[in-house]
Structure 1
Amino acid sequence: MADSYDVIIIGGGPGGYVAAIRSAQLGMKTAVVEREHLGGICLNWGCIPTKALLRSAEVFHYMQHPAAYGLTLQGQAGVDIAAVVKRSRGVSAQLNGGVGFLMKKNKIDVIWGEAAITKPGEIKVGKPSKPAMQPANPAPKGVLGEGVYKAKHIVIATGARPRVLPGIEPDGKLIWTYFEAMVPPSMPKSLIVMGSGAIGIEFASFYRTMGAEVTVVELLPQILPVEDAEIAGLARKRFEKQGIKILTGAKVAKVEKGANGVTASVVDDKGATQTLSAERLISAVGVVCNVEGLGLEALGVKTERGAIVTDGVGRTNVPGIYAIGDVAGPPMLAHKAEHEGVICVEGIKGLHVHPMDKAKIPGCTYCNPQIASVGLTEAKAKEQGYSLKVGRFPFMGNGKAIALGEPEGLVKTIFDAKTGKLLGAHLIGAEVTELIQGFVVAMNLETTEEDLMHTVFPHPTLSETMHESVLDAYGRVVHV
């Protein structure tokens, strides 16, 4: 007889394991099926290890400029890439073990293998297949394995994988995805980064800081395409000042491999071609949802543009089957997946839930300088017919930023001129990925400009730039 559960979640990434914990908290018998590693791509090969790499790059940057802080450094600062990678992998391993502990603490069964939904309420788990870029981990001790399992509710949280372009397929040696870019056996002297979204820009920033020559190729006219154009423009100037070469309105049309390098033919939007050579190429042109092999077509589960269609609280068109996280479509962010998972299982339990408002999900890019945003860009707000009041405040006018030696940055706020509603906030500069949540809270509380102007911000902090930007939108800025 098949083991039976209230909820089975396919996928143990941020969305899956958080949904499982909330399900268990609500008193439902819960299991997670995982084929590779608890914590998913984010914890093992994405968000967390890349931040560890970027932290090493940040420290190295400061080591190269001690005089700016009145310090001296005996000897020359250097990079031990093996040690940098080892630290990054150690951080991921620690957190991976932590997720396993949380499963045990919350009495959640872990089923090791690859799942397919044979019919609503039933899944079959087989041996893990070898993932495209990384061998599957061995099954941890004390977990369940192959077999048939039943559940009243099945939640799909299988995530996404790197998009592969025909003719530029990653080979693990010369052409990399983020998997290989996180564990280089040696430091390449030169790199081509194809794509300027968050993943591409973070790796461009890391490798340039570590000393590599980096060229970024972006198909669209603007790098960081989802960001406000003004912020993206400032970012480009900073990146180019650091020595990153940027080609926009251009695509990599062809790649030829050599013994220890690649040659890329790049075509711009006017049809002109140029040739770039580098030791390695990183393909960062987006991701595709992991929908294959789940049995969705036979079940009639609706998909659109490669993602599973849901109703805002995780329900698909087939009763008893749900989807959360990357596999349910953009924005493909870990924090979106986590919150989506909570909404989904609370709805399953019968609690009153509100569909996620994707307009209030913050986005962060951990390059140097950091970039963070929430809500509408200025262009999008105008497209939607709003009359705007826009505020800006430079880090140069902030005492804490100057004391930190980080005076280059900007906070931009966008308000509806008629109602005072905060429509969007866009930041570039030191630690803005930590500042953005203040604006996210404000938007969720439907805070107006008056509320923000009368809020007392602590001094001296970078957060004062947020206050001054609001003041600037209404002609009351103080420190510029």
Structure 2
Amino acid sequence: MNDVTGEADELYDVIVLGAGPGGYVAGIRAGQLGLRTAVIERAELGGICLNWGCIPTKALLHGAEVARAVRSGAEVGILAQAPSVEVSALVAHSRRTADTLAGGVGALLKGNGVDILRGTATVADKGRVRLEIDGRTRDLAADHIIVATGAGPRSLPGIVPDGSTIWTYRQALVPDEIPESLVVIGSGAIGSEFASLYADLGSKVTLLESLDRIMPGESPEVSALVTKSFNRRGITTMSSVRVESVDVVGSGDGGATIRTSDAKNGEQTLTASKVLLAVGVAPNSADLGLDRFDILDKAGFVTVDSLGATGVWGLYAIGDVAGGPCLAHKASHEALRCVDAIAGVRREPEPDDWREWVPRCTYTTPEVASVGIDVAAAKARGHNVATARIGFAENGRALGAAETEGFARVVVDADTDEILGASLVGAGVTELIASVVVARTAGVPASVFASSMFPHPTRSEILGEAMSAALGRPINSL
């Protein structure tokens, strides 16, 4: 049924709903290709990632890293007083970082001839968008509509964030003070990062996970090392735990009581100054008019092909709203290939395993980075697996920096010389994983990767050595 009557107020080639890392990249690329484009955003340019996720979190984590470096300086002969954290200044640094980049997004869109429309949009019909701005309605038309509305934090039944005692990531990014104690529910990337961050800032942190290990999306080998590292730093980790309830004590001044249960210990009661709910995200697909097209799965994600097409004429979806992994760089990548397909610049679909080659980075201490599949998955698929693990304790740069915790694991098919995956744990590994991604994208065999020249002394050498070891020719390890 068509809800729109009459002529459109404005005609476009492309309309993008949402200005996060998927939406604004789609808008910029469409503008570059000469398409008349509008991007509609009801909140901040840059979306959750830039304003309330990836960027401000990393700014806070940098402050925590500085505090940790000061505390550990004695290991390399630098003696200093125990650092104190001025929370307001740290939060201000985080907000300045986000605001600077958000301003840059606006400039990039305008510089590429893209109209930025502020308001709430719904897909009124094929090729039609209804925009609400300050109580006024505009009807827009476009041959191509790209939904890039992202996702928001999930809740648990009966546990509702109140913004004061029970937090989502938004409140965790702008604390008035560092809580004496913090219980984090969920140990995915968001939960683990905040657990690591607040532990470094001085909170007594407990990290809860309903599955059998923390960071369940990573390999058991990675999870085990991070668990030991967290425990050594004073972070209590509890897996296979069900959270039954969270009750705010009084008006919240008394913190919260968290009731849990597990098969081994039965029911337990924890207390904390604050509780952070970090149990994943849910797609922002409601109230967009998409239900009329029968393109939403049971969880509310938009069903699309590898180029973002929904199967409905002129309607596409990219980023978190189109399914996981819910990562900013995945959204931006999808934006480029979707718009290029719309413009006829490319037609070929992505390979079936493209989602496995979205790099995963978690900015805890130690950092975690992985891509592709692990040893168990490779064997299950029938590969003749060659693998090697090299520890950072064997790397000169890491030794000199007194950052030897962690390792690099690579997985190779011994018959085809194909790189199947890599997992890294340690300082700076989120910067290293890109070389594996580039090699895989370019079709570089493992033997060629191993023969490449890695600068010395750098942490990057660990990947070259691991790849050589997997092929049976290690130089600096046994």
Which bin holds the TM-score, normalised by the shorter protein?
A: over 0.9
From the superposition, tell whether residues 162 and 440 of structure 1 become closer, same or farther in structure 2 (CA, over 3 Å).
Answer: same
> Is the CA contact 1:343–1:354 (under 8 Å) kept in the aligned structure 2?
no
Q: Given the alignment of the two structures, is residue 8 of structure 1 paired with residue 5 of structure 2, yes or no?
A: no
Q: Given the alignment of the two structures, is residue 212 of structure 1 paired with residue 203 of structure 2, yes or no?
A: yes
> Is the CA contact 2:13–2:142 (under 8 Å) kept in the aligned structure 1?
yes
Which portions of structure 1, spanning 4 or more consecutive aligned residues, are displaced by more than 6 angstroms? Answer: none
SS at match of 1:369: coil
Q: Distance in 1 between matches of 2:111 and 2:472?
A: 54
Q: Distance in 1 between matches of 2:308 and 2:87?
A: 42
In the TM superposition, what is the alpha-carbon distance from 1:165 to its structure 2 partner?
1.0
In the TM superposition, what is the alpha-carbon distance from 1:185 to its structure 2 partner?
1.1
Question: Residues 13-32 of structure 1 correspond to what in structure 2 (within 5 A)?
Answer: 13-32=20-39
- In structure 2, the residue matched to 1:139 is none
> Is the CA contact 1:160–1:326 (under 8 Å) kept in the aligned structure 2?
yes
- In structure 2, the residue matched to 1:123 is 129
Q: Distance in 2 between matches of 1:438 and 1:269?
A: 42
Q: Given the alignment of the two structures, is residue 95 of structure 1 paired with residue 101 of structure 2, yes or no?
A: yes
- In structure 1, the residue matched to 2:287 is 293
Q: Distance in 1 between matches of 2:296 and 2:280?
A: 22
In the TM superposition, what is the alpha-carbon distance from 1:475 to its structure 2 partner?
2.7
- In structure 2, the residue matched to 1:372 is 369
Residue type of the partner of 1:88? S
In the TM superposition, what is the alpha-carbon distance from 1:128 to its structure 2 partner?
7.7
Between stretches 254-263 and 31-40, larger displacement belongs to 254-263
Number of matched residues? Answer: 464
Residue type of the partner of 1:338? S
Q: Distance in 2 between matches of 1:146 and 1:164?
A: 33
Q: Distance in 1 between matches of 2:365 and 2:147?
A: 35
Q: Given the alignment of the two structures, is residue 232 of structure 1 paired with residue 237 of structure 2, yes or no?
A: no
Q: Distance in 2 between matches of 1:191 and 1:181?
A: 10
Q: Distance in 1 between matches of 2:90 and 2:43?
A: 24
State percent identity of aligned pairs.
45
Q: Distance in 1 between matches of 2:216 and 2:140?
A: 43
Question: Residues 105-144 of structure 1 correspond to what in structure 2 (within 5 A)?
Answer: 105-127=111-133
Question: Residues 68-79 of structure 1 correspond to what in structure 2 (within 5 A)?
Answer: 68-73=75-80, 75-79=81-85
In the TM superposition, what is the alpha-carbon distance from 1:302 to its structure 2 partner?
4.1
Q: Given the alignment of the two structures, is residue 324 of structure 1 paired with residue 318 of structure 2, yes or no?
A: yes
In the TM superposition, what is the alpha-carbon distance from 1:271 to its structure 2 partner?
6.7
Residue type of the partner of 1:310? V
In the TM superposition, what is the alpha-carbon distance from 1:398 to its structure 2 partner?
0.6
- In structure 1, the residue matched to 2:86 is 80
> Is the CA contact 2:337–2:346 (under 8 Å) kept in the aligned structure 1?
no
- In structure 2, the residue matched to 1:453 is 450
- In structure 2, the residue matched to 1:176 is 167
Q: Distance in 2 between matches of 1:385 and 1:355?
A: 25
Q: What TM-score does the superposition give when structure 1 sets the normalisation length?
A: 0.94
Q: Distance in 2 between matches of 1:253 and 1:445?
A: 48
Unmatched runs of 5 consecutive residues or more in structure 2: 1-7
Equivalent of 1:313 in 304, 307, 310: 307
Between stretches 376-385 and 154-163, larger displacement belongs to 376-385
Equivalent of 2:427 in 430, 434, 440: 430
Unmatched runs of 5 consecutive residues or more in structure 1: 130-144
Equivalent of 1:335 in 329, 345, 360: 329
CA deviation digits over 1:24-58, x for unaligned, max 9?
00000000000001000000000000000000000
Residue type of the partner of 1:279? S
Q: What TM-score does the superposition give when structure 2 sets the normalisation length?
A: 0.95
> Is the CA contact 1:372–1:436 (under 8 Å) kept in the aligned structure 2?
yes
CA deviation digits over 1:40-91, x for unaligned, max 9?
0000000000000000000010111222232232x44100111111110110
SS at match of 2:161: coil
- In structure 1, the residue matched to 2:3 is none
Q: Given the alignment of the two structures, is residue 246 of structure 1 paired with residue 237 of structure 2, yes or no?
A: yes
Equivalent of 2:412 in 411, 415, 426: 415
CA deviation digits over 1:132-188, x for unaligned, max 9?
xxxxxxxxxxxxx84111111100000000001111110001100101110111110
- In structure 1, the residue matched to 2:72 is 65
SS at match of 1:308: coil
> Is the CA contact 1:193–1:216 (under 8 Å) kept in the aligned structure 2?
yes
Between stretches 117-126 and 7-16, larger displacement belongs to 117-126
Q: Distance in 1 between matches of 2:383 and 2:108?
A: 46
Q: Distance in 1 between matches of 2:305 and 2:270?
A: 45
Residue type of the partner of 1:15? G
> Is the CA contact 1:36–1:128 (under 8 Å) kept in the aligned structure 2?
no
RMSD: 1.4
> Is the CA contact 1:411–1:428 (under 8 Å) kept in the aligned structure 2?
yes
Q: Distance in 2 between matches of 1:127 and 1:240?
A: 51
CA deviation digits over 1:234-289, x for unaligned, max 9?
11111111010000111211111113201111111347111110001100000000
Q: Distance in 2 between matches of 1:234 and 1:476?
A: 26
CA deviation digits over 1:355-391, x for unaligned, max 9?
3421211000001110000000222222222221111
> Is the CA contact 2:231–2:237 (under 8 Å) kept in the aligned structure 1?
yes
Between stretches 350-359 and 332-341, larger displacement belongs to 350-359
Q: Given the alignment of the two structures, is residue 190 of structure 1 paired with residue 186 of structure 2, yes or no?
A: no
Q: Distance in 1 between matches of 2:301 and 2:196?
A: 30
> Is the CA contact 1:372–1:428 (under 8 Å) kept in the aligned structure 2?
yes
